[in-house]
Structure 1
Amino acid sequence: MKIDPAVVSAFTPTGKLRASINLGNPILANKHPETGEPFGVSIDLARALAKRLDVELELVVFDTAGQSVEAVANERADFGFFAIDPLRGKKIEFTAPYILIEGFYLVRDDSPIQTNADVDRPHHRVTVGKGSAYDLFLTRELKAAQIVRAPSSPTVVQTFLEQHLEVAAGVKQQLEADAQRTHGLRLLHERFMVIQQAMGTPKARGLAAAETLRAFVEEMKASGFVAQALSRHGIVGASVAPAQ
């Protein structure tokens, strides 16, 4: 995959390749408890892209998806890792997805809510991570239930418990981990959405940069790189997206 020097310049206006990293999604990125260094599937892909472009990589790390998206949309970062969403797509050019992640609802054991269809009822309050893919999706989809926005995706269950809300929504693996630490919680039996996790770059960088990023993602899927990264980091419940 030979890269046009003009495309490299489009990706690196500051001389470095700045990757926007969201620590709010534990499937994609985490912080090492001892060193504080970020690690995960998205960091592996960022390093592979920098190597492909033959440029220095700079990780720009955020705690929430909203902050990470804003950094790329406003060109304070050169690319990032996001769930595909039409609102985000106004300023960001997305690749096809590289992994698929399930979104689930969590409730208390004694909740009368048994199915996804029971969630969207008057007087039900659903907490989501502010600016997350779940926030964007449920803001469009829920008609009767009220949305309560937690500061970040990792604080969704904490907000759910502290404010005595009816439903928490988020990444299945995050909710499962929180449920194991807190007695009396359960996930509903079916997902309410599948998140298409993609890479994206500012639309202002031009079509050639966007096409280069799309080709890179397809190669990373086809070569087994994404599957190996999921395995290496012990990620379960997420699958490699099909080729486009």
Structure 2
Amino acid sequence: MARLLRLIAALLVGLSDAAFGQTSTEIAPGGKLRVGMIAITVLGGVAEPVARFVGQKLGAAVEPVMYPNPEAYLQSFGKGEWDIAIGPRVLAPADKADSTANLWAISLVYVAAPGMEFPDIASVDKTGVKIGTILGAPSDRVLTREIKAAEIVRIPLSPTIAADAADLLRSGKANVFGADSGVGYPAAEALTGAKVVPGAFGTVLVAAALPKGRSPAAQALLATLVDEAKQTGVVQKAIDAKNLKGVNVVTK
């Protein structure tokens, strides 16, 4: 069965079985596929099943390489710590990696503290408003670029980030918290009276990436496999399994 799966993937990407084996080895040396990911549900939690799918098609054992925060993930590029990475496209430097098409999209949302009223996204950026966010995350990048009047309050990513966000709102140190929907919705649920502000202030696009310098055949093979993961429902099932809101498979 494993050989059949490899043969099918080889045919899809236009490689002979022998060439497929060589290209698989280029992607996953020694039959092991190290996959760099960020250790939060909306990223690593969805990426792990996708990684297992890719590893199965390559005939390789998957070894997750989890990074505790976006900055650590960003700094891993160019260091040879993984064979492929699956994470925010914006954190994959073009001079150090070649990315595939996007796999899934994550809405960036605001969670308003109890008693705070924000009718829409635009109403948040006002003088006197304090916006909490995750230090170094894509949401931080968007807010740093777009916010003109409000103050940004940054906290580090942790395994309990949704609870941390709720605590920040509860304490009054932030009036709203801006983050990916995988953090925003659980934070709102964790704090009575908190609510998600209508709309999204940005989108995080997630893609797979190879280290810079891999062959065109390797790039084509990975692109084919991640597209198959989308087309066969692997990505959607991973999103559904985590009951994630504001997260959608990218269809184009």
Instruction: Describe the SS at the equivalent of 2:118.
Output: coil
Partner of residue 24, structure 2: 8
Residues 28 and 15 from structure 1, CA distance in 2 versus in 1: closer, same or farther, beyond 3 angstroms?
A: same
Give yes or no for contact 1:84–1:196 (8 Å, CA) kept in 2. Answer: yes
Counterpart among 129, 132, 155 of residue 127 in structure 1: 132
Residues 149 and 52 from structure 1, CA distance in 2 versus in 1: closer, same or farther, beyond 3 angstroms?
A: same
Give yes or no for contact 1:69–1:80 (8 Å, CA) kept in 2. Answer: no
Instruction: Describe the SS at the equivalent of 2:106.
Output: strand
Partner of residue 246, structure 2: 237
Counterpart among 75, 82, 94 of residue 77 in structure 1: 82
Partner of residue 6, structure 2: none
C-alpha distance in 2 between matches for 1:88 and 1:145: 29
Pairing 1:22–2:46 present: no
1:182-201 pair list within 5 angstroms: 182-201=191-210
1:77-226 pair list within 5 angstroms: 77-85=82-90, 88-152=93-157, 154=161, 155-162=164-171, 164-226=173-235
Using the TM superposition, name which of 105-114 and 179-188 deviates more.
Answer: 105-114
Residues 87 and 69 from structure 1, CA distance in 2 versus in 1: closer, same or farther, beyond 3 angstroms?
A: closer
Aligned length: 232
Quote the offset at 1:161 in angstroms. 4.0
Instruction: Describe the SS at the equivalent of 2:42.
Output: coil
Pairing 1:57–2:62 present: yes
Residues 92 and 138 from structure 1, CA distance in 2 versus in 1: closer, same or farther, beyond 3 angstroms?
A: farther
Residues 56 and 175 from structure 1, CA distance in 2 versus in 1: closer, same or farther, beyond 3 angstroms?
A: same
Give yes or no for contact 1:72–1:79 (8 Å, CA) kept in 2. Answer: no
User: Tell me, which stretches of 5 or more residues in structure 2 are unaligned?
Assistant: 1-8, 11-18
* Higher CA-based Rg: 2
Give yes or no for contact 2:181–2:247 (8 Å, CA) kept in 1. Answer: no
Give yes or no for contact 2:105–2:250 (8 Å, CA) kept in 1. Answer: yes
Q: Deviations over 1:39-98 (max 9, x none)?
A: x43111111111222222211122223222332443211222212227744423221111
C-alpha distance in 1 between matches for 2:30 and 2:169: 41
Instruction: Describe the SS at the equivalent of 1:189.
Output: coil
Quote the offset at 1:14 in angstroms. 6.9
User: Tell me, which stretches of 5 or more residues in structure 1 are unaligned?
Assistant: 30-39
Using the TM superposition, name which of 68-77 and 218-227 deviates more.
Answer: 68-77
Instruction: Describe the SS at the equivalent of 2:200.
Output: coil
Quote the offset at 1:214 in angstroms. 1.6
Counterpart among 23, 44, 51 of residue 46 in structure 1: 51
Q: Deviations over 1:95-115 (max 9, x none)?
A: 111122211111223225332
TM-score (norm 1): 0.81
Instruction: Describe the SS at the equivalent of 1:101.
Output: strand
C-alpha distance in 1 between matches for 2:83 and 2:39: 17
C-alpha distance in 1 between matches for 2:170 and 2:208: 33
C-alpha distance in 1 between matches for 2:92 and 2:227: 24
Counterpart among 219, 227, 243 of residue 236 in structure 2: 227
